[in-house]
Amino acid sequence: MRSPAFTFLLALIAFILCGLVGWRLTQGSLDVLFGAPPTVQGELLYPNFQGRDVHRISLAANGARGAFVRDEKGVWQAEYPWKDRMDPRFAEAIVDFTLGTRVAEVIPKDKIDSKQADFRDGLVGVLFENQESRTLCKYVLGRKTAWKNTDPITGEEVDTVFIRPLDKSRKNYVYACNGDIHALFKDGFRYLRDHQPFLFRPTFLQQIRIKNASGELTLGRELPDRPWRIVKPLDLPTDTIAMKRLLEGLLTLRALKVSDRADVTLPTTANTAGSEQIAIRLFGSSTETVLDIHPAQSADANSRLATVSDRPNAVFELPSKANADLVSLSSLPLTVNDLRDSSLTNLNVASLKGILIQPAGKAPLLITKLPGKWAIGEGENPPAANERRLFELLKAVTDAKIKAFVTDAATDFTPWGLDKPFLSLRFLAIDNQAIELAFGTDKQGAVYVNRRGTTSVMKVDSEIITRIATQPYQWKDSRLWSLNSTDLRSIVVRRDLSPPVTLEFDAFDLKWKATREGKDVSSDLDETHANYLLEVLSNLSVNRWLPADYAAADQALLDPTISFIVRSLLTDDEGNELGIGSKELVIAPAAEGANNRFYYGRLTSDENPFVLDQETLDKLKIELFEKE
């Protein structure tokens, strides 16, 4: 018979064990008592927490120790080996590696040589804790293994490394896991120190202030979705591409090296010639983050030292010359002329109602917008303007880029020929707002532009002038004539030395009658081709108009190779018949030989010849008769 004391002892032991089991059950596991089973191949090594849970990262590697904490703004800061900002990319890399690594092989701890796995010499220890200082994971990172594994997402082969968990109940196994982050832990964790002076989100940025040898300028915007403008020293629009390059450059500017302030000798305040400053301010903040860039130590130095106001313990060695791997200071647009909009104009074409073209010493030419068309001049029914010329002019002044901003403070425009411009363009908008551009040239033939009402002088490519039509004949409608099949009576076609062919058209029956040398040849006529010829003639457009005294065209057209005489019924505006009218079109090659690709043409009722291309002529030369 058992004694009461022995029974009590057994009951006490059972109570204690049940209490321990109950406590572990509240923690969600009995692994601490019996040991966790190994993580199976292909599963995540640490699936039980998320990246946002990690508040503190503690590291140990090669005798160095590091501690990194996420502050209240979510920014990783180092407590030691230095007090400074941690590179957020590398903090994320360590967390992502830990949460994303999968088991490739499972090895019992007593079956592996710790020395060969680098768990004794050169080990890397990793500890994650949450905000309540509870351990999320704790492991030792060993060397890279000989195994290769397949990434389950990309299907590519990846390296594997030894990992030995040090979490309670998980010390019995070593794992070969996907990935390798050893490179982050070299040289006392110096790579984990943030080498970027600025940390900001571009959408939060409101102001950039730059001070250098060119002066001081300020860029700003009213709201995150509003465009950037230069607000000092002048109010100017910015160039979109240049601003993108500046923002990306500041965001990715990285130092070659970051040192502690106590370990570096900076230039004294008495020796700051050549220093520069870049300051940024975010929306909702009244303070700037200021980057002070110190003078280069020598003319051929490839880097410059810099400090930033929100990281007082750090000195940055920034690349100052072109660098294939890093953004350099020399690659950043940091002057007014680098950042201002280089477009000659920013016309709102839809709002235009008129363009006044004023060549020096000649009559002005007015192009006006009327309902349904652009016209030359004003009046009751002005002739239609050449749409191709209009397109070329508007494209020239909107696409043209300024080659150089010569000055923004001109008082005498004589050196650039702008006191007596050779051409002025005035653009008038529907709201009566006007933009006037004056073009001048210097003694070397360079072309300059001034926007009237400003003191700015800009240099542009002289090619822009060739794209602006200034003569009235150049603005004539590109459509040669208006032919209406209903009013058409006949077309006489003459080609080279062949006898002329007369094509009579019956608009009521849509039938053709063909006559050649007084004989009816209608039975041989291909009416489909005759209809095609009429369509080509009706829609005939010239490539460009030429001046009335264009000698080469006059000479060539004395002996045309093809001509058309078109006879149509004439009517007045009220539809009353006025009789039969006749127009003759003559065409001749611009040059002799098979290599000629352009042709001169003229309506005998018009003093201005014009140019046609080979494609158009080929259409006009369609064979009208069926071949025997």
pLDDT tens digits, residue range 296-320? Answer: 888 888 999 999 999 999 999 999 9
The predicted model gives 557-572 an average pLDDT of 90
What distances in angstroms separate CA 43 from CA 100, 157, 176, 348, 430, one per listed residue? 10, 17, 12, 60, 69
Q: What is the pLDDT of residues 376-388, one digit of tens each?
A: 988 778 999 999 9
In DSSP terms, which residues pair with 164 in a beta bridge?
140
If phi > 0 it is left, if psi is from -120 to 50 it is alpha, else beta; for residue 420 that is beta
| Other residues' Cβ atoms within 10 Å of the Cβ of residue 328 | 19
On the question of pLDDT at 32 being above 60, the answer is no
Range name among 90-94, 148-152, 259-263, 473-477 with the lowest pLDDT average: 148-152
Residue 455's closest CA among 401, 404, 411?
Answer: 411
Task: Considering only residues 586 and 115, tell me which one the structure prediction assigns the higher pLDDT.
Answer: 586
Range name among 13-17, 417-421, 560-564, 578-582 with the lowest pLDDT average: 13-17
Task: Considering only residues 63 and 566, tell me which one the structure prediction assigns the higher pLDDT.
Answer: 566
On the question of pLDDT at 128 being above 90, the answer is yes
Phi, psi of 275, rounded to the nearest 5 degrees: -75, 160
374 in Cβ contact with 389 (< 8 Å): no
pLDDT (0 to 100) of residue 26: 47
Pairing of strands 215-220, 229-232: antiparallel
Q: What is the pLDDT of residues 214-263, one digit of tens each?
A: 889 999 999 999 999 999 998 899 999 999 999 999 999 999 999 999 88
On the question of pLDDT at 628 being above 90, the answer is no
Residue ranges with strand state E in 196-255? 205-212, 215-220, 229-232, 236-237
Residue 25 — very low, low, confident or very high, per pLDDT cuts 50/70/90? Answer: very low
On the question of pLDDT at 36 being above 90, the answer is no
11 CB-near residues (< 8 Å, 6+ apart): none
The predicted model gives 157-181 an average pLDDT of 87
Q: What is the pLDDT of residues 434-480, one digit of tens each?
A: 899 999 999 999 999 999 999 999 999 999 999 999 999 999 999 99
Question: Which residue stretches of 54-130 are H helix?
Answer: 88-100
Hey, what domains does the chain have and what are their CATH numbers? 32-192 (no CATH), 202-339 (no CATH), 349-475 (no CATH), 488-620 (2.60.40)
Task: State the amino acid at position 475 in one-letter form.
Answer: W
Burial class (CB in 10 A: 0-12, 13-18, 19+), 155: exposed
Q: Say how far apart CA 293 and CA 40 lie, in whole Å.
A: 54
What does DSSP assign to residue 112? S
pTM score of the predicted model:
0.71
